[in-house]
């Protein structure tokens, strides 16, 4: 290919179709329309599918991209979105009725998004390339002739595209109508689908009038909506919003500590885990925080694992006896099996009958003083004060920085009542 770009839309290559195949007619008509509308080859990207209708990229002297079976509407939309960065470019994708069946989702999605592109569906009522099998667009009339699933109707692709939001959706049966409707499709600013009846002389009919007897009706449907614009925008660094934490407190005994905070969804356990890790960092410790919760985050258990270490943390699992804080039955059941004989557990009074194999179980009525949203925080603060691994002040300082500081600090004040 040379660096001098010609003005011709089509190459001189011989059409690869069987004699009388309808696919070539659509291609010649498209080339004329593009030329009429003043498109230069370098302004057009032709996206092709797999099938006889996909053998077309060598025929175009434009930019071309030839992908997979059924995916040209999606590949084409990707191209169209990219080409929005360069004004004056047009994306034209081709697909067969078979491709439209396997890739139906892509067509509906492109219609819904309404980014500027044209999709030409060459509907020959069958899978030409693989030997004439039926597609989702094969009509019952044709299926009666070939005795195939006669009770299953065809999709009405034009209606589906229209209902999904396509700016323009049309069906053309007779080649006479083709230039005019193709022109309207290409001129459309937004997503335009044009389904074109095409003759497969090898597996369907020899004559056009036979095809005309089985096809769906011609129609043109429009949605008066503007084309969606795709723009790239610079966005701020994610690190700009990162809180930098300095050592402000002295830690207690050096070592590695694992904390397991166990409660229920909605109990703030994940936030408390983060506060605890941050508080550790304020005391100069290395920290990790891992959350565990069911996929349906709004229900069931919520567990936060926090590790403190005076040395850099390599392995991030809790591989030592841990300090547990358990405030609900969900939390208890989730971590019960993990409790080692060397662990120490802070347990809400309501769970006091749980028979835990820990070295020490400290039972306090956390939920008596605060509601279920704050129990994990109160219990964790209590634990922290007892354990003296880091000063409670480091946690208080962390909470002070939060937008809900007032509520959190009120919770901390309940420590005095717990003591009383």
Q: How far is CA 404 from CA 79, 179, 396, in A?
A: 46, 65, 12
**Minimum separation from the CB atom of position 62 to ligand SF4 (A):** 22
Question: Which alpha helices (DSSP H) does 213-338 contain, by range?
Answer: 269-282, 329-335
Candidate residues 26, 200, 211, 335; the one interacting with ligand SF4 per rule CB under 6 A: 200
| Nearest distance from C-beta of residue 161 to ligand TPP, angstroms | 17
7 binds, among other proteins, ligand SF4, Mg ion, none (CB under 5 to 8 A by kind): none
Binding residues for ligand TPP (CB under 6 A) = 50-53, 69, 96-99, 122, 124, 126-130, 135
Q: Rounded to the nearest whole angstrom, what is the least distance from the CB of residue 70 to ligand TPP in the complex?
A: 7
Per-residue H/E/C for 329-377: HHHHHHHHHHCCCCCEEEEEHHHCCCCCCCCEEEEECHHHHCCCCCHHH
Task: Map the footprint of ligand SF4 across residues 203-232, applying CB under 6 A.
Answer: 203
Taking alpha carbons only, the member of 104, 114, 251 closest to residue 169 is: 114
The interface partner of residue 313, options being ligand SF4, Mg ion, other proteins, none and the CB cut-off 5 to 8 Å by kind, is other proteins
Q: Least distance in Å: CB of 285 to other proteins?
A: 8
Residue for token pair 């069987």: 18
Contact between 97 and Mg ion per CB under 5 A: yes
* Residues within window 310-349 making contact with Mg ion, judged by CB under 5 A: none
Which of other proteins, ligand SF4, Mg ion, none does residue 232 bind (CB under 5 to 8 Å by kind)?
other proteins
Convert residues 150-189 into a mask of x (bound to ligand SF4 by CB under 6 A) and - (unbound): ----------------------------------------
Could you tell me the end-to-end alpha-carbon distance of the chain, in angstroms, rounded to an integer?
88
8 A C-beta contact, residue 131 and residue 208: no
362 near 297, Cβ under 8 Å? no
Residue 203 binds which entry of Mg ion, ligand SF4, ligand TPP, none, CB below 5-8 Å type-dependent: ligand SF4
Q: Which two tokens stand for residue 275?
A: 């506060």
**Sign of the C-alpha dihedral computed for residues 72, 73, 78 and 79 taken in this order:** positive
Which option in other proteins, ligand SF4, Mg ion, none does residue 288 bind, with CB closer than 5 to 8 A by kind? other proteins
Closest CB 169 distance from Mg ion, rounded Å: 19
Rule CB under 5 A: which of 118-157 touch Mg ion? 124, 128
Residue 92 vs 384, nearer CB to other proteins: 92
Residues whose CB falls within 8 Å of the CB of residue 211, separated by 6 or more in sequence, listed in order: 22, 125, 197, 199, 204, 205
Token pair of 416 as six digits: 């005095």
Rounded least distance, CB 102 to ligand TPP, Å? 6
Query: x/- contact string, 37-76, with ligand SF4 (CB under 6 A)?
Result: ---------------x------------------------
For ligand TPP, the closer of residues 178 and 318 by Cβ is: 178
Q: Which is nearer to other proteins, 228 or 386 (CB)?
A: 228
Q: Mask 331-360, x = binds ligand SF4 (CB under 6 A)?
A: ------------------------------
Q: Hey, what are 13's tokens? A: 């290559």
Looking at residue 188, what DSSP letter applies? Answer: -
Instruction: Count CB-CB contacts under 10 A for residue 214.
Output: 20
Q: Which residues of 98-129 are buried (b: 16+ CB within 10 A; e: fewer)?
A: bbbbbbbebbbbbbebbbbbbbbbbbbbbbbb
The owner of tokens 């306090």 is: 364
* CB-CB neighbours of 244 under 10 Å: 5
Question: What is the nearest approach in angstroms of Mg ion to the Cβ of residue 129?
Answer: 8
From candidates 8, 15, 18, 160, binder to ligand SF4 by CB under 6 A: 18
| Cα gap 186→190, rounded to integer Å | 9
What stretch of H or E contains 416?
Answer: helix 405-419
String marking each residue 57-96 x if it binds Mg ion according to CB under 5 A:
---------------------------------------x
Of residues 16 and 266, the one with the C-beta less far from ligand TPP: 16
Binding site residues, ligand SF4, CB under 6 A = 17-18, 21, 23, 52, 124, 128, 200-203
């Amino acid at each position: 290919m040379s660096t001098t770009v010609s003005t011709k839309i089509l190459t001189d290559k011989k059409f690869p179709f069987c004699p009388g195949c309808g696919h070539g007619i659509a291609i010649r008509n498209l080339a004329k329309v593009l030329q009429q509308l003043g498109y230069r080859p370098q302004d057009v990207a032709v996206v092709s599918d797999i099938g006889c209708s996909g053998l077309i990229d060598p025929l175009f002297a434009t930019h071309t991209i030839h992908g997979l079976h059924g995916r040209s509407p999606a590949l084409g939309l990707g191209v169209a979105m990219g080409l929005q960065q360069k004004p004056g470019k047009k994306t034209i994708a081709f697909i067969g009725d078979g491709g439209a069946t396997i890739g139906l989702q892509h067509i509906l999605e492109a219609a819904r998004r309404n980014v500027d592109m044209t999709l030409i569906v060459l509907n020959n009522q069958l899978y030409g390339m693989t030997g004439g099998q039926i597609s989702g667009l094969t009509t019952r009339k044709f299926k009666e002739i070939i005795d195939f699933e006669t009770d299953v109707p065809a999709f009405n692709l034009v209606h589906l595209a229209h209902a999904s939001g396509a700016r323009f959706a049309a069906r053309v049966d007779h080649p006479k109508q083709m230039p005019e409707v193709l022109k309207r499709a290409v001129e459309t600013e937004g997503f335009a689908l044009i389904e074109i009846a095409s003759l497969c002389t090898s597996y369907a009919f020899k004559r056009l009038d036979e095809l005309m007897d089985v096809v769906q009706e011609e129609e043109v449907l429009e949605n008066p909506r503007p084309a969606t614009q795709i723009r790239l925008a610079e966005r701020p660094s994610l690190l700009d919003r990162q809180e930098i934490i300095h050592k402000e407190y002295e830690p207690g005994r050096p070592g590695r500590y694992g904390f397991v905070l166990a409660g229920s969804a909605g109990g703030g356990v994940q936030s408390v885990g983060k506060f605890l890790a941050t508080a550790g960092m304020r005391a100069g410790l290395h920290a990790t925080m891992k959350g565990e919760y069911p996929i349906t985050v709004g229900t069931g258990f919520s567990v936060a694992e926090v590790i403190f270490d005076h040395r850099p943390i390599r392995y991030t699992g809790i591989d030592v006896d841990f300090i547990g804080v358990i405030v609900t039955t969900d939390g208890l059941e989730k971590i019960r099996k993990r409790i080692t004989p060397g662990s120490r557990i802070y347990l809400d009074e309501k769970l006091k009958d749980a028979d835990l194999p820990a070295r020490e179980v400290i039972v306090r009525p956390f939920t008596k003083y605060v509601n279920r949203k704050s129990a994990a925080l109160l219990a964790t603060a209590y634990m922290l004060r007892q354990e003296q691994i880091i000063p409670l002040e480091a946690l208080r300082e962390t909470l002070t920085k939060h937008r809900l500081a007032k509520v959190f600090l009120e919770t901390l004040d309940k420590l005095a009542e717990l003591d009383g």
